[in-house]
Structure 1
Amino acid sequence: MSEETAARPTATTDEGPGRTAFGPADAITVEVIRQSLIGVVQEMQNSLFCTGYSTIIRESKDASCAIADLAGRVVAQYTVLPLHLGAFPETIENILRAYPVEEMRDGDAFLVNHPYYGGSPHATDMAVVAPVVVDGEVFGFSGSIAHKSDIGGLVPGTNSSQAREIYHEGLMVPPVRYHRGFAPSPEVETLLRANSRTPHLVLGDLRGQVGATHLAADRVRALCAKYGKDTLHTASGRLLDLTEQRIRAAVAEWPDGRYTGTRLLHSEGMADGRPVAIRVAVTIGGDRVAFDFTGSDDQMTGPYNIRPPLVRAVCSYALKCLVDPEMPSNSGFFQAITASFRPGSLLDPLPPAPVNTYMPVAVATAEALFDAFGKALTAGRIAESSSGTNGTFSYRLPGASSPKVQYELPAGAMGARWNKDGVSASKVHVANGSLTPIEVLETEFPVRVERFELVTDSGGPGRHRGGLGYLREYRVLAPARFTTRNGRELTPPAGKDGGLPGRPSVLTVNPGTDREAAITVESGSVTLAPGDVVRVCQAGGGGYGDPRTRPVEQVVADVREGYVSPESARTHYGVALVRTSADTWEADPRQTARLRAPAAD
């Protein structure tokens, strides 16, 4: 007899009048509850994004929400930021160390942003977690993690390339009770207000987070009333088991072996300009997969470090890509894997190592994983991507008591895959979120965006072309300060299997004038006068495969669209182009055949 047949809902119940009893292993009920929980998390995120005070929440959507069980395992997360799948359990675990569950009440909300005594990726990501109380007992937790515009630190926007310890990275909050009886703690808010350059935005966004957690608590209580608390609890555990089983079933079909992968990080401000290596060994045996990161380089003196809970989330992301991108995001992934680290490495830093520029390391970790998986699975083969270089503007307006901080999430470009081109002007791998619309920037800040366009030839040439980076030029209309966190990539994203690298990122102040200068990490913050221009030119992704095997018609289409220049078409792709009477580009068959002819021995 099948599981579905054996566990049909029964006709009677002892859970109270008006309720229908469901078998705890009923496959239909489990799926209905899964979809219901995902709907609750989506409603949380809609609430958070609609009530956000800062552009970081409203426009960039640098936040995510989750529902967790009593042990802190994530039962539902509607993925915005995949790394938070690892951050939530660590955050809840640390809250439970500080506050016994028996002391928690409905209307409580806890605040934490400490990377080592909490679970946040970096201090500007503040977590708010509330207990879900059902029938007088804590049933589970609802929570959100959201980036803040400024919580102190060395520079406006908090995150500085010059940080050498976490104490340079702004206010560190270990787990504290922020709300009790649905009312905020005046003392906590006083401390937050005193340590931020943008206190009204920080407190406004936090209140939205609290509201989202209480909204989720109400929705989960309603589900308990509908299906029964025990059924919901059993179904939640079953969801994690199903995810684990699905991962193991897929892994069992993969070839056994030990596969190694490496990704070099080479950016300004990192290790005095030396390349830094992330190394992983992926061991597949039967239905088990293990990740060994112990060969990675030592932790950085600067902020290019990331903690193990987030690295485990990167492993989950890679598996989700390879197994089924539509799989639910929950802690079942962690039940299916093991991961080992070396304390003191950049993937397991020792406090007080700074961590504010963790995202490029996370993206590079994903690429090291795909470098390893690609040796076993065709689906894992992809050229390197650009995660985007970052910068923050701050403006001091006349009569204002605090600066206006313009923080944007950058986008880079996806490297080409084994079977298709990369994606242009896109967040890549575990990075996510949205670019802030120009209209919003120009409405909220004294700035004018004069150019926003894809950069011709920035995508690495290949049989499949790398995604293009983008360019934005900002003209400031008030005295300003610009700070870059990760600067330029000194080695651009590499191509794969004969593909060429993408073009590296460049930051420039007042381009095309006699005052033109490169903006580097070493230069720190750049002071800007009204009328000055900052150009941010993002790197492109690497290409995949020999460029001279790219179909001619695709190269011609790229030139017509402005993705590839005629010069690059000839030099890299071996395609000669001519202008026609219709003022468009066409391939010259004879010259192209000569350019693509095999070289004589």
Structure 2
Amino acid sequence: DIVKANSREPISNEGDIYALIACCETGAERLSGMMEEFGIDHLDDLADYIIDTSYRGTIEAIAELPKGTWRNVLKVDGYEQEIDLHAALTIAEDRVALDFTGTSGLSNKGINVPLNYATAYSVFALRCIIGPDIPNNAGSLAPFHVTGPKNCILNAQPPAPVAMRHTLGQMTPDLVYGCLSQALPDRVPAEGASCMYDLPLRHTPEAVSRGDEQFALELVFSGGTGARPGLDGLSATAFPSGVWGSQVETTEAVAPVLITRRELRPDSGGPGRTRGGLGQVIEMRSSDNADFMLFLSVERVLNPANGRFGGQAAAPGRIRISRDGPDLPGKGEVRVKAGETLIFETPGGGGFGPPRERDPDDIRRDLDEGLISRQAAHDIYGLEP
């Protein structure tokens, strides 16, 4: 995905493409060999069996769940104003229904989400808890039904702008888990950073006329995931997207920027019996004494990830130019001038359970690894010197 604007040629993923082609060719050869070995000339019956078996397995998993309807409201930063995402989750004997009635209306900006996108991430979150060992296919997905009023922000209709749909669409797992945690309190994690923490960078408009270097790339620096009932959250890890974080060396090789700091952000994970995953701190500046443009569309700046069942909220995201500069909004266009340092801090995940119930050995380990401060260890977790 990293492209030199003046050449339009991919820089970093050519090897990955060849590897993918080789994998596909190997898979095709193995599949053809299997069909020849068993004397079959089509896969329809096998596919039907897999889908039917997956459907039955999912229905059995749903049948074991508590029955009822649970509701949750998740407040997110939005663009022009803060937005309320509403969800009602109903678990019946043979189906799970999710409805977004009550959710705020459309934005004038491109953060609106088509229903199929909201459905994909919502159902993915549910499937991580309900029958996670069952293959993901039409059969295992059939019992899940998602609805929402037309032109709420999670069911955008044409011609609403949706180019940045991932900004809110990937918040839906936290919305859904707020419902599911009421039914399954010992299986659902706390809220996480969730939104993809992207840094889209571009050359300035005047760079073209001046003959300066032109570039365009979109970096990803993830926040922390929510604490799990029995395990800490994952630090600097993307959920639900699963996108791998951008590498410093690759970035500096293809764009005129210098990353001077990248490390975990102490105390950013929400305190709890199990601690939320940490965000990270990234500092960068121009490497050729030229301005560059930053286009922001991130969440969790105004509304951090909440803890669950006594766990505390995580640190919110924070973006600024220089250490003494004012905090920037999570959405909009920013010009980073030559000589200035962009400081990009991603949010942590919420904690799970009361912090005073955390194992003292885990607190000491966090201290030794620099994940929490001594003040937090004493004031929040109650660890005596």
> Cα offset for 1:213?
12
Which has the higher relative contact order, 1 or 2, with Cα contacts under 8 A spaced 6 or more apart?
A: 2
User: Residues 250 and 287 of structure 1 are in contact (CA less than 8 Å); yes or no, is this contact kept in structure 2?
Assistant: no
C-alpha change, 1:324 and 1:304, in structure 2 (3 Å) is same
Matched, 1:249 2:60: yes
Match of 2:261 in 1: 451
CA deviation digits over 1:322-347, x for unaligned, max 9? 13444322222332222222111111
> Cα offset for 1:552?
2.0
User: Residues 198 and 403 of structure 1 are in contact (CA less than 8 Å); yes or no, is this contact kept in structure 2?
Assistant: no
CA deviation digits over 1:495-531, x for unaligned, max 9? 111211111111122335xxx34333566221421x3
User: Residues 197 and 220 of structure 2 are in contact (CA less than 8 Å); yes or no, is this contact kept in structure 1?
Assistant: no
Match of 2:154 in 1: 347
Identity %: 25
3-state SS of 2:98 partner: strand
C-alpha change, 1:534 and 1:488, in structure 2 (3 Å) is farther
3-state SS of 1:524 partner: strand
User: Residues 297 and 346 of structure 1 are in contact (CA less than 8 Å); yes or no, is this contact kept in structure 2?
Assistant: yes
User: Residues 76 and 299 of structure 2 are in contact (CA less than 8 Å); yes or no, is this contact kept in structure 1?
Assistant: no
Aligned mates of 1:244, 1:400 — CA distance in 2? 59
Matched, 1:373 2:173: no
User: Residues 228 and 352 of structure 2 are in contact (CA less than 8 Å); yes or no, is this contact kept in structure 1?
Assistant: yes
| Aligned residue runs from structure 1 range 522-537, under 5 A | 524-529=333-338, 531-537=339-345
Matched, 1:432 2:239: no
Aligned mates of 2:211, 2:132 — CA distance in 1? 47
3-state SS of 1:251 partner: helix
> Cα offset for 1:567?
0.8
CA deviation digits over 1:181-206, x for unaligned, max 9? xxxxxxxxxxxxxxx8763349x98x
Residues paired across the two proteins, number: 374
1:474 to 264, 268, 284: 284
Aligned mates of 2:140, 2:200 — CA distance in 1? 35
C-alpha change, 1:199 and 1:451, in structure 2 (3 Å) is same
Match of 2:313 in 1: 501
C-alpha change, 1:402 and 1:236, in structure 2 (3 Å) is farther
Aligned mates of 2:327, 2:146 — CA distance in 1? 41
Matched, 1:337 2:148: no
Aligned mates of 1:223, 1:321 — CA distance in 2? 33
Match of 1:421 in 2: 232
1:238 to 49, 57, 60: 49
3-state SS of 2:366 partner: helix
Match of 2:95 in 1: 288
Runs (4+) off by over 4 Å: 211-218, 227-230, 396-402
User: Residues 35 and 41 of structure 2 are in contact (CA less than 8 Å); yes or no, is this contact kept in structure 1?
Assistant: no
1:360 to 146, 164, 167: 167
User: Residues 322 and 379 of structure 1 are in contact (CA less than 8 Å); yes or no, is this contact kept in structure 2?
Assistant: no
What's the TM-score once normalised by structure 2's chain length?
A: 0.86
1:308 to 87, 100, 115: 115
Which moved further from structure 2: 323-332 or 339-348?
323-332
CA deviation digits over 1:99-122, x for unaligned, max 9? xxxxxxxxxxxxxxxxxxxxxxxx
> Cα offset for 1:251?
0.3
1:465 to 256, 272, 275: 275
Matched, 1:486 2:294: no
C-alpha change, 1:487 and 1:324, in structure 2 (3 Å) is closer
Structure 1, unmatched stretches of 5+, are 1-53, 56-148, 151-195, 578-601
User: Residues 459 and 467 of structure 1 are in contact (CA less than 8 Å); yes or no, is this contact kept in structure 2?
Assistant: yes
2:366 to 558, 562, 570: 558
CA RMSD of aligned residues (A): 3.1
Aligned mates of 2:374, 2:174 — CA distance in 1? 31
CA deviation digits over 1:155-180, x for unaligned, max 9? xxxxxxxxxxxxxxxxxxxxxxxxxx
Could you say which structure has the larger radius of gyration?
1
3-state SS of 1:272 partner: coil
Matched, 1:519 2:328: yes
User: Residues 371 and 380 of structure 1 are in contact (CA less than 8 Å); yes or no, is this contact kept in structure 2?
Assistant: no
User: Residues 167 and 299 of structure 2 are in contact (CA less than 8 Å); yes or no, is this contact kept in structure 1?
Assistant: no
User: Residues 389 and 486 of structure 1 are in contact (CA less than 8 Å); yes or no, is this contact kept in structure 2?
Assistant: yes
Matched, 1:382 2:180: no
